[in-house]
Amino acid sequence: MSKFAKKDRQRIIDGYLSNTGRNMFIPAEFVDWLSGQPEHEAYNLFYGLDDAEAARQYRIDLARNMASGLRIVATESSVDSSVISINVREYPAYFSPVAGRKDGGGYHRFDPDDEGNQTELRRQGATALSSWIERYRGCAEKIGIDMSALERVVEDLRADAPHQQKLAI
């Protein structure tokens, strides 16, 4: 199944709205409209599979969503002199390493003590936070919110550097 770049998706949706005279994108209406447009560049994305394969892909997405968002809680304790420190951290129960996704991927149990798992999660966190900043920067800056602290968090996550101080966000 072919995926479209962001600029192409924007162009396709803008073209649909222009061609139909609509001023709001309603996914169900777009899919219905597209069914009668076999020459449209997006036609095969929605109608290129037979119903059985489309249903299978839908079920795979349901299964993917079933694992998404599950959490585990890990308790870490350390002793410094006579002071015992206990930290409780929350992690995803399962994660999907980016490197394996092109080959079908899969979800791995997250092990908070595995540095490879931690590195992958930090990398994914940096990507997600960077995407969030890009999406919401305009409306945040319009009301005077300085995004530089969040940008430093992204840099720290990407550098895989230990967090030296808590940032006031």
Q: Whole-angstrom distance between the N-terminal and C-terminal Cα of the chain?
A: 40
How many Å apart are CA 16 and CA 33, to the nearest integer? 9
Q: How confident is the model at residue 2 (pLDDT cuts 50, 70, 90)?
A: low
* pLDDT tens per residue across span 132-167: 999 999 999 999 999 999 999 999 999 974 544 444
- Domain ranges in the chain are 6-48, 114-169
Q: What phi and psi values does residue 80 have, to the nearest 5 degrees?
A: -125, 110
How many Å apart are CA 39 and CA 11, to the nearest integer? 16
* Cα dihedral 144, 150, 155, 158 sign: negative
Provide the whole-model pTM: 0.62
Q: Which residues pair with 57 in a beta bridge?
A: none
Q: Which residues pair with 140 in a beta bridge?
A: none
